Homo-oligomer: A and B are copies of this chain.
Amino acid sequence: MNFQKRKQNILDKLNITGEVDVKQLAMELAISEITIRRDLNQLANDGLLYRTHGGGMKVDPLAKPVDFINKSAQNAAVKDEICRKAAEHIHDGDIIFMDCGSTVFRLCPFIKNKKIKVITNSLPVIYELQNCAVSLNIIGGEFDSERQAVHGKIANEHIARYRAGKAFLGVDGVSQNGLFANSELEAEITSAYINQSAYTYLLCDAGKIGKETYLKFADINQVEAIITNAKDGQLSCFKDTALAILQVK
Q: From residue 161 to 179 of chain A, which have CB atoms closer than 8 A to chain B?
A: 161
Instruction: Flag A107-144 by CB within 8 Å of B: 1 or 0 each.
Output: 00011111000000001001100111101111111110
Flag whether A216 is at the interface (Cβ < 8 A): no
Whole-angstrom CA separation of A141 from B111 in the bound complex: 20
| Assembly stoichiometry (copies) | 2
Compute how far the CA of A62 lies from the CA of B134 in the bound complex, rounded to whole angstroms.
Answer: 11
Q: A64 on the interface (CB 8 Å rule)? A: yes
User: What residue of chain B has the Cβ atom nearest to residue A53's Cβ?
Assistant: B2
What separation, in Å, do the CA atoms of A123 and B136 have in the docked complex? 12
Are A138 and B136 in contact, CB atoms less than 8 angstroms apart? no
Contact B158 A140 (CB under 8 A): yes
When chains A and B are docked, how far (Å) is the Cα of A139 from the Cα of B155? 10
Main secondary structure of the interface of A (DSSP, over half): mixed
Q: Which bracket fits the contact residues of A? A: 35 or more
Q: Bound state CA distance, A127 and B130, in angstroms?
A: 13
Is A19 close to B, CB under 8 A?
Answer: yes
Q: Report whether A52 and B131 are in contact in the complex, using a CB–CB cutoff of 8 Å.
A: no
Contact in complex: A131, B4 (CB < 8 Å): no
B-contacting 9-mer, from A31-39, A43-51, A188-196, A206-214: A43-51
* Contact (A62, B131) CB under 8 Å given A2-B52, A4-B57, A87-B47: yes
Q: Are B55 and A2 in touch, CB under 8 angstroms?
A: yes
A150 within 8 A of B: yes
- The CA-CA distance from A46 to B62 in the complex, in Å, is 17
* Residue of A55, A87, A111, A113 contacting most chain B CB atoms (<10 Å): A113
- Tell me the complex Cα distance, A154–B119, Å: 13
Q: Is residue A5 contacting chain B, with contact meaning CB distance below 8 A?
A: yes
Q: Which residues of chain B have C-beta atoms less than 8 A from A2's C-beta?
A: 52-55
Least CB distance from A161 to B in Å reads: 6
Within 8 A of B (CB), among A63-79: 64-65
Instruction: Choose from B52, B55, B59, B131 the contact partner of A145 (Cβ within 8 Å).
Output: B131
| Subset of 20 A-B contacts with CB under 8 Å | A2-B53, A2-B55, A45-B87, A46-B84, A47-B113, A47-B114, A59-B113, A65-B131, A126-B143, A130-B143, A130-B148, A131-B145, A136-B142, A138-B139, A138-B141, A138-B143, A138-B150, A140-B140, A140-B141, A154-B158
What 5 A-B pairs are tightest by C-beta distance, nearest first?
A140-B140, A47-B113, A136-B143, A4-B52, A59-B113
